[in-house]
Structure 1
Amino acid sequence: MKSNAIYSFLSGNSYLLTLGIIVLTLIMLALTLMPAETFSHHEIWSYDKIGHLLLFGTWTLLLGLYHNISIAGNTNFWVIFLIGTSFGILIELLQHSLPSLNRHADIVDVVFDTIGCLLAIWVLKIILPKK
Structure 2
Amino acid sequence: MKTNVLYSFLQRNDYLLIAGIITLTLITFALTLVPAEMLSQNKIWSYDKVGHLLLFGSWTLLLGLYHNISQENNTNFWIIFLLGLGFGVLIEFLQYSLPSINRHADIYDVLFDAIGCLLAIVVLKKVIPEK
TM-score greater than 0.5 by the shorter chain: yes
Equivalent position of 1:107 in the other structure: 107
**Other structure's SS at 1:23 match:** helix
Distance in 2 between residues matched to 1:23 and 1:71, nearest whole Å? 22
Deviation at 1:53, TM superposition (A): 0.2
In the superposition, relative to structure 1, how do residues 73 and 5 fare at CA in structure 2: closer, same or farther (>3 Å)?
A: closer
Matched, 1:42 2:65: no
Q: Partner residue of 1:3?
A: 3
Deviation track 1:42-100 (CA, whole Å, cap 9, x = no partner) reads 00001000000000000000000000001135210000000000000000000000000
Q: Secondary structure at the match of 2:89?
A: helix
| AA aligned opposite 2:35 | P
Residue ranges of structure 1 left out of the alignment (5+ in a row): none
Please state how far the C-alpha of 1:130 moved relative to its aligned partner: 1.6
3-state SS of the aligned residue for 1:16? helix
Letter matched to residue 41 of structure 2: H
User: What percentage of residue pairs aligned between the two structures are identical?
Assistant: 71
Partner of 2:30: 30
Compute the TM-score of the two structures, normalised by the length of structure 2: 0.98
> What pairs up with 1:85-124 in 2 under 5 angstroms?
85-124=85-124
- Cα distance between partner residues in 2 of 1:61 and 1:72: 16
